[in-house]
């Protein structure tokens, strides 16, 4: 790094801080402005903020490792979440905006009644807002630290100082500007991060050692360019494309996306994704924001990372298993010229800061709205709640730094989170569409997976993802039994929820009979068709882009034509729906 590189990095930091200072007065008006941008985010900004948040500092490294171990097909470990993302677009985005609440945890007492509902809301506010949130930020801090160490070869103590300094900046502008500042800096950070990763991919592919895509094809085995896993073998070791048994493949594509709770990919939406949907200007903007997020998340972001990941197999063939992900950082360090190196460092800080900013604002919203305002001080002024929100934002930052100090590795953490939430996802989906779900259903679905997980771990040899069959089955049976053994939500409470959110569907027929002035929605067949079309659209654009980039032009064009047809039909359907709603 020389003077021009540090100038680029400094300019990026100053722009981020400037946005926070600009929106500080607006965010101080009330908690709606601080946590939801006054419910006035346009769809493109809300969607870009979502995708920037999921672009963490460790994401390019994780994709590099997947590609280095299992080729392009290794990405199916996260590509399978597309089914749930598109389900959220058409079945839940409008409902979240219609609920007119501040956090997705507030939904618990909107939907359920009594002490079980308040107990569940308070517990999840502290569990997610404090514990899970600080662990996520600690992991992101650790990943950023490993990037700085690999890039500059500095000591762990120096790394901690740089991470703390950048996190302090994030905490300051997040505390000052609320979600407006977070969303605007997210857009800036996404632009910087994507520009940097595209530049790196172009530079690395142009290296003589790599020789472009044609050079990669000559030097790498065919399995590295396979887009789909091989089935029936069950091998996942380096030296072959991602191999899955049929049962494992069914678990990934048939169960994981709807059954498991995972931050940023909650079935039915939730967390910061729900926060952005509730911040949108109206229901239309909420739907379009989530659709843009899904397209950008799967079609726009991954290919620069994948191309660099393939290139690292040629540039660093002797990297051990634990170092494969650092091939991305080594490529930055070894081959970028002055100026561009600073841009890539700024890009990684952008990816890091966008995630941390959202985690701080989202976690503070849980602590303030769903615990402090609900259980500690209920009738304070909006100015008081904003001031406490800013203090909590800074305290969450400090707590995550302390968590970072005790974390050595979280290898397998994502697997544990998926297994420990397996089966909960079905309740999170059905609570919108079946009146009989109650607070005890969700409590049972939250606790049951832990018991099944530890039993399988201690007394069987079943491994992930096949464990999902057993955990989901046990959890589903448990919450169904609990549902029918406990009293349903109070009838008047259900009527208020039905009038407010208008969820529709046969699961609400019994309640709808009490509301003669409202008829059940008949949009489900169209919503289902739109869901299938969006899956086809995103996957064909994802694969079409990839085929073009790896010089398989005929297949790429065929994918794009299919995607354009699906997109045209989807666009027509959405236009017709919006025209009906406007009448």
> What CATH number is associated with residue 223?
1.20.1730.10
Number of domains in the chain: 2
Of the three residues 411, 427, 462, the one that is the final residue of a domain is 411
Residue 443 lies in a domain: no
| Same structural domain, 145 and 285 | yes
Residue 354 lies in a domain: yes
Return the SS3 of 243.
strand
What pLDDT does 219 receive? 93
Residue 483 lies in a domain: no
Q: Count Cα atoms within 13 angstroms, Cβ side, for 24.
A: 14
Cα 31 from Cα 165, distance rounded (Å): 27
Return the SS3 of 296.
helix
Residues 6+ apart with CB under 8 A from 238: 68, 69, 70, 321
What pLDDT does 349 receive? 84
Return the closest-CA partner of residue 334 out of 355, 350, 306, 311.
311
Residue 456 lies in a domain: no
DSSP state of 234: -
Reported in sequence order, the residue ranges of 32-73 that DSSP labels E, i.e. its strands, are none
According to DSSP, the residues that pair with 41 across neighbouring strands are 280
pLDDT tens string 354-406: 888 888 888 899 999 999 999 999 888 888 988 999 899 889 888 888 877 77
Q: Is 583 exposed, middle or buried (0-12, 13-18, 19+ CB in 10 A)?
A: exposed
Residue 7 lies in a domain: yes
Q: Count Cα atoms within 13 angstroms, Cβ side, for 192.
A: 30
| Same structural domain, 386 and 255 | yes
| Same structural domain, 178 and 311 | yes
Return the closest-CA partner of residue 130 out of 343, 289, 361, 367.
367
Of the three residues 411, 442, 457, the one that is the final residue of a domain is 411
Sign of CA dihedral 448, 449, 452, 457: negative
pLDDT in tens, the chain (583 residues): 788 888 988 888 888 888 777 877 777 777 888 888 888 899 999 999 999 888 877 788 888 888 888 889 888 888 988 998 999 999 999 999 999 998 999 999 999 999 999 999 999 999 888 888 888 888 788 888 888 888 788 777 777 788 888 888 888 878 878 888 888 888 888 888 899 899 999 999 999 999 999 999 999 998 889 888 876 544 444 445 566 667 777 887 788 888 887 777 788 888 888 889 999 999 889 999 999 999 999 998 899 999 999 999 999 988 887 788 888 889 988 898 888 888 888 888 888 888 888 888 888 999 999 999 999 998 888 889 889 998 998 898 888 888 777 765 544 556 777 888 889 999 999 999 999 999 999 999 999 999 999 999 899 988 888 898 999 999 999 999 999 999 999 999 999 999 999 888 889 888 888 887 777 666 788 889 999 999 999 999 999 999 999 999 999 999 999 999 999 999 999 888 777 766 5
Of the three residues 353, 388, 411, the one that is the final residue of a domain is 411
Residue 428 lies in a domain: no
112: phi then psi, degrees, rounded to nearest 5: -110, 165
Q: Which domain holds residue 537?
A: 522-583
Residue 399 lies in a domain: yes
| Same structural domain, 407 and 528 | no
Residue 327 lies in a domain: yes
pLDDT tens string 198-243: 999 999 999 999 999 999 999 999 888 988 887 654 444 444 556 6
């Amino acid at each position: 790094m020389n003077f021009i590189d540090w100038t680029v990095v400094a300019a990026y930091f100053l722009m981020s801080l400037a946005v926070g200072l600009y929106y500080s007065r607006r965010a101080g008006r009330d908690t709606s402005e601080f946590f939801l941008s006054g419910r006035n985010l346009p769809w493109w900004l809300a969607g870009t903020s979502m995708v920037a948040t999921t672009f963490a500092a460790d994401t390019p490294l994780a994709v590099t490792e997947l590609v280095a171990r299992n080729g392009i097909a290794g990405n199916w470990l996260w590509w399978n979440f597309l089914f749930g993302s598109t389900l959220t677009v058409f079945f839940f985005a409008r409902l979240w905006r219609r609920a007119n609440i501040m956090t997705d945890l507030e939904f618990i007492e909107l939907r359920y009644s009594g002490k079980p509902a308040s107990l569940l809301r308070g517990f999840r506010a502290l569990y997610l807002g404090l514990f899970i949130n600080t662990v996520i930020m600690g992991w992101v801090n650790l990943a950023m630290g490993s990037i700085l160490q690999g890039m500059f070869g500095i000591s762990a103590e120096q790394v901690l100082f740089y991470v703390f300094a950048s996190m302090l900046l994030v905490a300051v502008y997040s505390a000052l500007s609320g979600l407006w500042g977070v969303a605007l800096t997210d857009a800036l950070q996404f632009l910087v991060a994507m520009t940097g990763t595209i530049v790196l991919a172009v530079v690395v592919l142009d290296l003589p050692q790599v020789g472009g895509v044609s050079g990669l094809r000559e030097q790498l085995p065919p399995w590295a360019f396979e887009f789909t896993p091989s089935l029936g073998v069950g091998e996942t070791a380096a030296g072959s494309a991602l191999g899955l048994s049929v049962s494992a493949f069914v678990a990934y594509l048939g169960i994981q996306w709807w059954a498991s709770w995972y931050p940023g990919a909650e079935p039915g939406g939730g967390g910061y994704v729900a926060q952005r949907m509730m911040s949108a200007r109206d229901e239309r903007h909420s739907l379009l924001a989530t659709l843009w997020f899904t397209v950008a998340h799967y079609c726009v972001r991954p290919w620069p990372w994948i191309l660099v990941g393939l290139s690292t197999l040629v540039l660093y063939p002797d990297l051990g298993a634990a170092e494969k992900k650092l091939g991305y950082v080594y490529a930055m360090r070894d081959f970028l010229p002055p100026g561009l190196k600073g841009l890539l460092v700024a890009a990684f800080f952008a990816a890091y800061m966008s995630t941390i900013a959202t985690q701080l604002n989202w976690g503070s919203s849980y602590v303030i709205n769903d615990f402090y305002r609900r259980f500690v001080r209920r009738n304070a002024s909006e100015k008081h709640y904003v001031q406490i929100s800013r203090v909590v934002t800074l305290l969450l930052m400090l707590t995550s730094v302390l968590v970072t100090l005790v974390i050595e590795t979280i290898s397998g953490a994502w697997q544990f989170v998926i297994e420990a939430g397996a089966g909960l996802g079905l309740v999170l989906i059905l609570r919108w569409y079946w009146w009989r779900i109650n607070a005890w259903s969700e409590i049972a679905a939250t606790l049951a997976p832990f018991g099944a997980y530890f039993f399988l771990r201690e007394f069987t040899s079943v491994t992930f993802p096949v464990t999902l069959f057993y955990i989901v089955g046990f959890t589903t049976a448990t919450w169904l039994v609990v549902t029918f053994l406990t009293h349903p939500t109070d009838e008047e409470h259900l009527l208020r929820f039905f009038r407010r959110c208008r969820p529709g569907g046969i699961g609400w027929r019994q309640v709808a009979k009490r509301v003669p002035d409202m008829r059940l929605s008949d949009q489900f067949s169209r919503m289902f068709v739109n869901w299938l079309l969006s899956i086809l659209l995103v996957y064909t654009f994802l694969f079409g882009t990839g085929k073009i980039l790896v010089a398989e032009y005929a297949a790429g064009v065929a994918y794009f034509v299919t995607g354009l047809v699906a997109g045209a039909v989807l666009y027509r359907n959405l236009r017709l729906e919006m025209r009906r709603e406007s009448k």
